[in-house]
Amino acid sequence: MTSIDVYDHAIPAESHFGYAQAIRSGDLIHVSGQLSFDEAGGFRPTDDIATQLQGTYANIDKVLAHYGVTRNQIVSQTLYVVDLVKNADVVAEGNRAYFGTHRPASTALGVSELTFPGQAVEISCVIDTKLPA
């Protein structure tokens, strides 16, 4: 039987929208779209997409820490980016800085808006716990 482990950041949006930040099912961990939010779950508004990326990846790191896995075990990610053409170079730079030499499968989607006013990026990912850390 496959075990399921659910992770939450304990922020209001999780109960309001009815979702988990991540769920582990067997060897895979599916991470919901992460964004740059503070400890209370409020979005950190900034016009600087690089700062939003750093905050978003920091929240992904919290999920990784909970499950005892590393960035090298992320097998795929989906990035949702407002004004993707305008922000593509900054997003690419932030992605390379986060992953270093690791290269997960990646899809970037340009979107017209995200959940919060001023939000420019959201990232979901899948982690395979059987991969080397």
DSSP assignment of 89-132 equals HHHHHHHHHHHTT---EEEEEEES--SSTT--EEEEEEEETTS-
Residue 110's CATH number: 3.30.1330.40
> Number of structural domains, the chain?
1
Kindly report, residue by residue over 98-127, the tens digit of the pLDDT: 999 999 999 999 999 998 889 999 999 999
Residue 63 lies in a domain: yes
Residue 46 lies in a domain: yes
CA distances from 80 to 1, 2, 27, 76 (A): 34, 30, 25, 14
Residue 40 lies in a domain: yes
**Domain range spanning residue 42?**
6-126
Mean pLDDT for all residues in the chain: 92
Question: Quick one: pLDDT band at residue 131, thresholds 50, 70, 90?
Answer: very high
Residue 1 lies in a domain: no
63 vs 7, which has greater pLDDT? 63
Stated pTM of the model:
0.92
Kindly report, residue by residue over 20-42, the tens digit of the pLDDT: 899 999 999 999 999 998 777 77
pLDDT at position 4 is 73
Residue 133 lies in a domain: no
Residue 75 lies in a domain: yes
